[in-house]
A and B are shown apart, each in its own frame.
Chain A
C-alpha cells in the first residue's frame, strides 16, 4: 500500500509540474466523461430502465421495434469516448517522450515493468478521476440539455439526475477512460525504454 501511496503522490507532483498540459487534458477528459455520462443517463432513463407505469412491458416493446435508435445512441457515446481517449493519449504520449531520463533511472535501479506501467496508469487514472468530478457537473448540464429535446410529459425523464445510478455510470466511464487513455503511452514508454541504451541517457544529463 505504501508504494501505491508513493505512486499517487508522485502522480500529483508530475501533473503539477506541467500545469498547462494537465489543464488541457483535464478539460478534454471532463467534457468527454461528462458528455458520455449524460448521454448514457438519458439512454438509460428512456430505453433501458423499467418505466414508471403499471403495464410498462408493453411500452418496452416500442423500443424493441426500433433497435437502430439504441445502436445510434451507443455509437455516439462510444465515439465521444473514443475521441476523448485519442486526444488524451496523444497528449500523454508527448509528455512520456520527455521522461526518458526518469524511465532510465527507474530501469537502472531495478524497477519491474509492471511497476512502471502501474505508475503511468495511476497518473492517467488520477487525471481522469479529477476530470470525473468536473465531468459530473458537465453531465448534469448535459442531461438537462438532452431532456429538453424530448417531450416534457415523459415520466421516465423525471427520475434523471444526481443519484447512485448516475454516479456509478460516471465512475465506470471515468476509470475506463483513465485506463483506456493511459495504456498506450505506458506500453510505448516500456517499449522505448527497452530499445534505448540506458547508460547513454544516464550519462548525458
Chain B
C-alpha cells in the first residue's frame, strides 16, 4: 500500500493584490513530500520560495488549490486552529534565527511547548533532549546575545525539534552564517533527517541544496524542474572545505 504524503499541494496558486496590481507569486504548484523525506526548494531571489514556505507553514493561505497536511485539508482552518497545527506539527528554522532576546536558551526552546499545556517536567525533559541533540545543553542559561550566530541557529533548531513536529521548515538556515557554521548546521539537519525528520528547506545555494534527497526548482512562481540528489557524502563536504 502506498504511503500517504505528509504534504500534498494540488494546483496551488497565490496572488497578491496591491492597489491595481495583481502579482502572481505562485502558479499551478503540485508538490508531494513523503514522511521522512528531505526536500530542498531552490530558485533565484523573488521566485516564490518564501511564499511557498509561508503556505507550507500555514503562515499564509493559498488563493486557489488544496493543501493537505498529514492527510488533513488545512485550507479552511480558523486562525486559532492554524496556530495549533503550527505548534504541534510544524517546526520553523529561520535565516535570522528569530530567538526571543529576553528569553534565555532554555526558555526559548521551551516556549512552543508552553503553548501546549504540557506538564512542566515533560517540557524540561524535552528541552534538555533537544539541546543535547544540537550540542547546546551547556548554554541553557545564556541569552541569544551571548551566543554566536552558529550557536543561535543550533538553539533555533532545538526549538523547532523540541515539539517533535511532523515537518521541519527551514528558510535559508545558513543565510546568516559563515561557511563553517553553515556546514555545521547543514550536518545537523542531515543528522535529524537520518533520525527520521521530514525536512523542507528553502535555499538559493546549490551546495546546500545537495544535502537534500530531492530538489524542486522554482522560477517565476512555478516549479520548473525536479531532481533526485544523492545525499551529500563525506567526500563532497570535504571537497567544499
List residues of A whose CB falls within 8 A of some B CB.
2-3, 6, 9-10, 13-14, 17, 101-102, 104-113, 115, 194, 197-199, 202-205
Give Cα A10–Cα B143 distance, bound, in whole angstroms: 13
Give the complex CA separation of A202 and B84 in angstroms: 19
Give bound CA distance, A203 to B79, whole Å: 21
Q: Is B86 within 8 A of A203, CB to CB?
A: no
Could you say which residues of chain A place their CB within 8 Å of the CB of B98?
101, 104-105, 108, 202, 205
Query: Contacts A6-B107, A203-B50; is A109 near B92 (CB within 8 Å)?
Result: yes
**Interface contact B80-A112, CB-CB below 8 Å:** yes
A198, B114: Cβ atoms closer than 8 Å: no
- How many residues of chain B are within 8 Å of chain A by beta carbon? 35
Interface centre among A2, A194, A205 (most CB of B within 10 A): A2
Q: Please choose the segment from B52-60, B128-136, B193-201, B203-211 that sits at the chain A interface, where 4 or more of its residues have CB less than 8 A away.
A: B52-60
B80 contacts which chain A residues (CB < 8 A)? 112-113
Known contacts A14-B102, A199-B60; decide if A110 and B84 are in contact (CB<8 Å).
yes
21 contacts between A and B (CB under 8 A): A2-B120, A6-B114, A9-B107, A108-B92, A109-B92, A109-B112, A109-B115, A110-B88, A110-B112, A112-B80, A113-B79, A113-B80, A113-B83, A197-B54, A198-B54, A198-B60, A199-B54, A199-B59, A199-B60, A203-B96, A204-B96
Q: Judge whether A102 and B60 touch: CB under 8 Å.
A: no
| B94, closest chain A residue (CB) | A202
Q: Is B110 an interface residue (CB 8 A)?
A: yes
Could you mark each residue 120-163 of chain B with 1 if its beta carbon is under 8 Å from any beta carbon of chain A, else 0? Answer: 10010000000000000000000000000000000000010000
Residue of A nearest to B54 (CB): A199
Instruction: With CB as the reference atom, state the residue of chain B lying closest to A199.
Output: B54
Which chain A residue shows the least CB distance to B176? A205
CA A17 to CA B102, docked complex, whole Å = 8
What residues of chain A lie closer than 8 Å to B53, measured between beta carbons? Answer: 199
Question: Which residue of chain B has the shortest Cβ distance to A2 in the bound complex?
Answer: B120
B59's contact among A10, A102, A111, A198, by CB below 8 Å, is which?
A198
The CA of A104 and the CA of B171, in the complex, are separated in Å by 15
Closest residue of A by beta carbon distance from B99: A105
- Whether the pair B83, A110 counts as a contact (CB closer than 8 A) is yes
Taking the closest CB of chain B, its distance from the CB of A164, in whole angstroms, is 35
Residues of A within 8 A of B90 (CB): 110
Instruction: Name the A residues within 8 Å of B60 (CB-CB).
Output: 197-199
> Chain A contacts of B111 at CB under 8 A?
6, 106, 109
Against A, the Cβ 8 Å flags (1 = close, 0 = not) of B162-192 are 0000000001000000000000000000000
Interface: B66 (CB within 8 A): no
Asked if B87 is at the interface (CB within 8 A of a chain A CB), the reply is yes
Inter-chain CA distance A198–B96, complex, in Å, is: 13
Q: Which residue of A lies closest to B80 (CB)?
A: A112
Q: Which 10 A-B pairs have the closest CB atoms?
A: A110-B87, A205-B96, A110-B86, A3-B114, A2-B120, A109-B112, A13-B102, A199-B54, A198-B59, A110-B83
- Report the separation of the CA atoms of residues A59 and B205 in the bound assembly, to the nearest whole angstrom: 87
User: What's the minimum C-beta distance from A184 to chain B, rounded to whole angstroms?
Assistant: 20
Whether A108 contacts B86 in the complex (CB less than 8 A), given A3-B114, A203-B171, comes out as yes
Closest to A115 in B: B115
Q: Which residues of A contact B102 (CB under 8 A)?
A: 10, 13-14, 17
Q: Which residues of the other chain, A, contact B27 by a CB distance below 8 angstroms?
A: none
Report which of A102, A104, A105, A110 forms a contact with B115, defined as CB distance below 8 A. A110
Is the CB–CB distance between B96 and A202 below 8 Å?
yes
Which residue on B lies nearest to A1, using beta carbons?
Answer: B120
If A108-B92, A111-B83, A194-B79 are given as contacts, then 9 extra A-B residue pairs at C-beta distance below 8 Å, sorted by A number, are: A2-B114, A13-B102, A107-B59, A109-B86, A109-B159, A110-B88, A110-B112, A202-B98, A205-B98
Q: Determine if B83 and A107 form an interchain contact, defined as CB atoms under 8 angstroms apart.
A: yes
Chain B residue, CB-CB nearest to A14 = B102
Residues in chain A near residue B84, CB distance under 8 A: 110, 112
Among A104, A105, A113, chain B packs the most CB atoms within 10 A around the CB of A105
